Homo-oligomer: A and B are copies of this chain.
Amino acid sequence: MTAPQAVQDRYPESVSYCYGCGRNNEFGLKVRSIPAGDEWVAHFTPRPEHMAVPGFVYGGLLASLIDCHGVGTAAAASLGSDDEGQEMPRFVTGSLTVNYLKPTPLGPELELRARPLEVGERKVRVSVTVSVGETECVQGEVLAVRIPDSMQ
């Protein structure tokens, strides 16, 4: 059985350098968004330095994970249900909202689940949660927009 392909594995080479999710960014976080039914799932274990205060995950890291997982989900959702063989489009972030519901413990693996809320040709709105085990710690929303010509 081969590993499931992530959305980010399918981005064109020239737009795969993102600090959050680019497979070609050697210093980055390498978020990988995997389809799972009508959701997309990503797992990430923060590094020890990704702290807010000792014992808890830095909110900016959580925002970064939500950003990239949301944008990847938006790109995949824009292809519709039968995306075989289509090139994965690149979206970027138009806006990002993050609600920190509970302090996120530093150490365990985080699970991100994303669900498209509105899918348009140029804009896709996505809801994202971050959980540790059964506990939902963070909720976010990403408005992703198709990458403008000026950025590629």
Contact = CB atoms under 8 A, between A and B. Distances in A.
Interface residues of A, number: 46
Interface in A12-27: 14-15, 17-20, 22, 25-27
Q: Which of A53, A61, A90, A151 counts the most B-chain CB atoms under 10 A from its CB?
A: A53
A55 interface: yes
Nearest to A152: B53
A14 B52 CA distance: 11
A24 to B, nearest CB: 10
Nearest to A52: B18
A65 B14 CA distance: 26
Contacts of A25: 49, 51
A131 interface: no
Nearest to A27: B49
Interface in A83-120: 90, 92-100, 103
